[in-house]
Amino acid sequence: MTVRRYAVAAAACELIPVPLLDTVAQNQVRRRALTKAASSAGRSLSTEELHALADEPLATGWELVRMLLLWPFKKLFRTVFMVWTVWVMFQVGSDVVERAGAVSA
């Protein structure tokens, strides 16, 4: 899979309607994209480097409680304003391409 396809896959994870599962799925796709980019550049990344470069932090503690309480409103907002979701998807996709470019450079 090329970096662009990984970017599209990471962006599509924004459409997963389950809180935290979308972030976990995005992290998996980002890790695979960076691993592929590093191997094509003849490099290898340690697990710590891969997690530091690829992963978005998961919510914990009060941040998790706040996120779960606000999730229905966020879902409603994204449904009503689909443009916002598309914009977030483009941001995620470009983020994957930038990170893969940084690893392969």
pLDDT of the residue at 28: 92
Q: What is the pLDDT along the chain (105 residues), one digit of tens a residue?
A: 688 898 889 888 888 877 778 888 988 999 999 898 888 888 888 888 888 888 877 767 888 788 778 877 877 776 777 777 788 888 888 888 888 888 877
End-to-end CA distance of the chain: 18
How far apart are alpha carbons 53 and 47 in whole angstroms?
10
d(CA 98, CA 8): 13
Give the pLDDT score at 102: 83
Structure confidence at residue 1 (pLDDT) = 66
Distance of alpha carbon 1 from alpha carbon 74, whole angstroms: 32
pLDDT of residue 72: 79
